[in-house]
Each structure stands twice: as C-alpha cells, then as structure tokens.
Amino acid sequence: MPSLTDQQSLAIPAGQPYFHYRDSELFVEEVSLAALASQLGTPLYVYSKAALQTAWDAYAQAAKGHQVLVCYGMKANSNLAILQQFARFGSGFDIVSGGELKRVIKAGGNPGKVVFSGVGKEVWEMELALEAGVKCFNVESVPELRRLSDVATRLSKVAPVSLRVNPDVDAQTHPYISTGLKENKFGIAIESALDAYRLAKELPGLNVVGVDCHIGSQITEVSPYLDALDKLLSLIAQLKAEGIELHHLDLGGGLGIRYDDETPLAPGILLDAVFKKLADKGLELELVLEPGRSLVGNAGVLVTEVQYLKHTEDKDFAIVDAGMNDLMRPALYEAWHGVLPIKPRSAQARVYDVVGPVCESADWLAKSRCLAVQEGDLLAIESAGAYGFVMAGHYNSRPRAAEVLVDGKNWHLIRARESFDDLIRGERLLD
C-alpha cells in the first residue's frame, strides 16, 4: 500500500496556487477549509475569487489588441455572486434560457453583451431577450429563425442574429459533451447554412450580424477549433459573395481544464492561432468566445465529510455526505475529479471508492483512490467550480449544498444551505 508520503507527493491541488496546503491543512486563499466546514457544515461548495480573476485575466491578456468579446458560458456556474464578478470584469454572457437572462440582469450584467444560444428558445424567452436588447440570438434551426422573425415583428423590433452552424468536426472529447458533430442536435448543418442565411436575410424581423459554432466541451487540442474555423471561413466567403456581410464570428467555448493529468489549452494559444487565420484571410471581424469551464472549473471544490468506512470482501468504500445529487459529473460521464484530504493523516492508506449516500449504484464521486482516512475526516472534491452546483438536484429528498466565495482572508456565503422547507416549497397535500 502507498504510504502517506506517496499521497502527499501526489497532492498538488488542481486549483493551485489558490487551493494549497499550509501546515498540512488545505486552504483556499487565506481561509481554512476545515474552519469553513465546521462553521457552515457539509457538503459545501467553496470558490476562490482570485482564481476567477486569474482565469479571466488569461482571456483578457490573450485578447489584447484585438476586437474580442468574452461571453462567460454561465451554465457552468450561475450563482449570482459569480455572475456579478464576471460582470465587474467586463464580461458578456452566453445564455441558454430566459432564467439565465434574468440572472444576468439581477447580477448587474449588461444585456447588450449577451448572446442567446440554445435549441429550444420559447416565445416568452425571445420576447424577454428582445425587450432586454441582447447582442445576438444564436439561432439553431430554420423553424427558430421564422419564429424569431414573427416575435420581433410583432414587437416592432429587429432581432440581431447569428446562425449557429454545426461544422461536423470531432472535438475529441466525451460523446455526451460533444456538440459539433452531424448527429448532435445543435446548430444548422454546415451544408444547409447558406440557404438558412438567405432566408434570414429575407425575413422582416431579423438582422444578420454573425456566425457561431460551439463544438463541445473539455477540449484540449487546438486542431478541432481550427477545423471548425476553416469551415466557417469558407461559409463567410460564400456569404460575402452574396452580399451578406457579418460583424462577428463566435467560436463558442469549450476549453478544457486539468482534472487529472490533462494539459489544458491556454486561451493565448487558441487565440493566436485564430487571429493568424483571420489575418491570412484579411478579415476584421469581432471575435466572440463563450468559455465556461475554463473560467470557473478549477476555482471551486466540493467539501464533504466521511460518514462511514465500509470494508467488504471486494472493495473499501468511503461513504461521504455528498452524493450524485450534489455533483453529477461522475455518475453522468464517469468524470474524474481529484480527491484531497483536508487534513492529511499519518496513517496507512487504502484504496477506496468514494461514494455518496444516494440509493443508486452510480452514486460515486471517485473510484480507486488511495486515501488515509477515518470517519469524520473532510475531503475536497476538486475541479468542482464548473457544472457542479448548477447540475445539483434534490433526489432522495436531499437539500442542496451551500456555496461560499473566498476573497483573501474573507469569505462570503453566496448561497445558504437549503432546508427541508425549501425542499417542499410549492408542494400541496390534497384536501
């Protein structure tokens, strides 16, 4: 069995330097995670404000000297306080629902910097976005084009539109988070895009302003982006020949982060390659990006407490108080998240499956991890800032976790832990 020394030499937090060991205890910035857990309970999502800033700065730096609008893909983490931070950085927002638009407005974001994606936009959502004055609708089908034109005309407005094109490229990522292949429901097939643009130009309620694609998530190579870009550039040339001039090009989000041993793709590497291609074509389009995971993923952890250690003939289980309802990624994608002891022990380690209390065999957070733990110990599930709390649910009547944003020595409770009353709000017994 590996000893504690082996464990510690492996324990380089994915969110370093903001998540770091100090005197053999895991801290976020200047705040002890154990102290937060003791005050606020577990499971607990904890985010680092400095990590958000650093992730944002990487995009800002890469964009310097170019016309770029970063629209935070807020589905990754839509807590109002997180959105408020991005609004303060000057970010725009990529939204996929009327609810997300309401959050942006509530958090002080600028609707004029909002792009509205999603395959199923309803009439009320279109109305809301038109009234708010969003920058652009990323339209994903021909029926949606027609509906949007009708809604805009009825409101005496003109809707700015991009067509989300499905370029049929392989993003080389998990099939569930790949979105730019022919078989995916997203976007308009690249072969049909020209006809769709011709229609958009004719429809009275629309103003064609751009082109958009988003090929998937957790991408670590630049080549899928460049393959998609090549296809968009040839479409842009065809459109120009027909007198349809675009103002912006939206390459979506998708940049990956380090969960395990991945090498993330830095925004600067992607943007330099994109700017070079645009310059080669003599194009001066505004570039829009919609990053989510790469802005927040490694800015957060999920803190959980070991309830029981269960040793069976086949396996050792560490049963913790966070489950698939709190962090769904492992159950849904067999996703790998690092597990760090908050106060590492000098004891013999064992190989554990870290599992939750939910009545599903898919309720696991990590498999085959070498840990020296006892009941009552705290663990940090890493890289939980993106697609963590936002995908949480109430299965097994489990109230959702609290969320905290740490800023240096200070911390702010940005979401209170749910109570049983929160859980049943809206339910009614029969008379």
Ligand X SMILES: Cc1ncc(COP(=O)(O)O)c(C=O)c1O
Ligand Y SMILES: N[C@@H](CCCC[NH3+])C(=O)O
Which residues are the active-site residues? Answer: 359
Of 193, 131, 127, the C-alpha closest to 162 is 193
Pick the closer one to ligand X by CB: 171 or 355. Answer: 171
Is 387 among the residues that bind ligand Y (CB under 6 A)?
yes
> Of residues 70-99, which lie at the interface with ligand Y (CB under 6 A)?
75
Strand partners, 26: 21
Q: Which residue has the tokens 């994608």?
A: 333
- If contact means CB under 5 to 8 A according to the sort of partner, which of ligand Y, ligand X, none does residue 329 touch? ligand Y
Q: Annotated binding residue at 140?
A: no
Of 37, 11, 76, 39, the C-alpha closest to 218 is 76
Stretch that binds ligand X, among 23-31, 70-78, 121-129, 351-359 (CB under 6 A): 70-78
Q: Which residue has the tokens 């021909």?
A: 142
Terminal CA-to-CA distance of the chain, rounded, Å?
A: 61
Of 157, 112, 159, the C-alpha closest to 137 is 159
Report how far residue 237's alpha carbon sits from residue 243's, in angstroms, rounded to the nearest whole number: 10
Evaluated on CA atoms 101, 102, 108, 111, the torsion sign reads positive
Strand partners, 402: 44
Q: Which of 217, 304, 325, 383 binds ligand X (CB under 6 A)?
A: 217
The nearest distance, CB 179 to ligand X, in angstroms, is: 6
Report how far residue 276's alpha carbon sits from residue 221's, in angstroms, rounded to the nearest whole number: 17
- If contact means CB under 5 to 8 A according to the sort of partner, which of ligand Y, ligand X, none does residue 254 touch? ligand X
Phi, psi of 391 (to 5 degrees): -100, 10
Q: Annotated binding residue at 290?
A: yes
Pick the closer one to ligand X by CB: 288 or 301. Answer: 288
Q: Which of 13, 267, 292, 356 binds ligand X (CB under 6 A)?
A: 292
Is 94 among the residues that bind ligand X (CB under 6 A)?
yes
Is 177 among the residues that bind ligand Y (CB under 6 A)?
yes
Q: Annotated binding residue at 360?
A: yes
Is 164 among the residues that bind ligand Y (CB under 6 A)?
no
Q: Which long-range contacts (CB under 8 A, 24 or more apart) does 263-270 make?
A: 263/220, 264/220, 264/294, 265/219, 265/220, 265/221, 265/222, 266/58, 266/62, 267/58, 267/59, 267/61, 267/62, 267/63, 267/291, 267/294, 268/58, 268/61, 268/62, 269/222, 270/62, 270/222, 270/225
E strand or H helix that includes residue 9: helix 4-10
Evaluated on CA atoms 285, 291, 294, 296, the torsion sign reads positive
Q: Which of 103, 293, 369, 400 binds ligand X (CB under 6 A)?
A: 293
Is 217 among the residues that bind ligand Y (CB under 6 A)?
yes
Q: Annotated binding residue at 127?
A: no
x-or-dash pattern for ligand X, window 156-195, by CB under 6 A? -----------------------x----------------
The nearest distance, CB 293 to ligand X, in angstroms, is: 4
The nearest distance, CB 407 to ligand X, in angstroms, is: 23
Is 210 among the residues that bind ligand X (CB under 6 A)?
no
Which residues of this chain interact with ligand Y, rule CB under 6 A?
75, 177, 179, 217-218, 329, 387
As annotated, the binding site includes 254, 290-293, 329, 333, 360, 387
Binding site for ligand X (CB under 6 A): 73, 75-76, 94, 117, 179, 214, 217, 252-255, 290-294
* Binding positions for substrate: 293, 329, 333, 360, 387
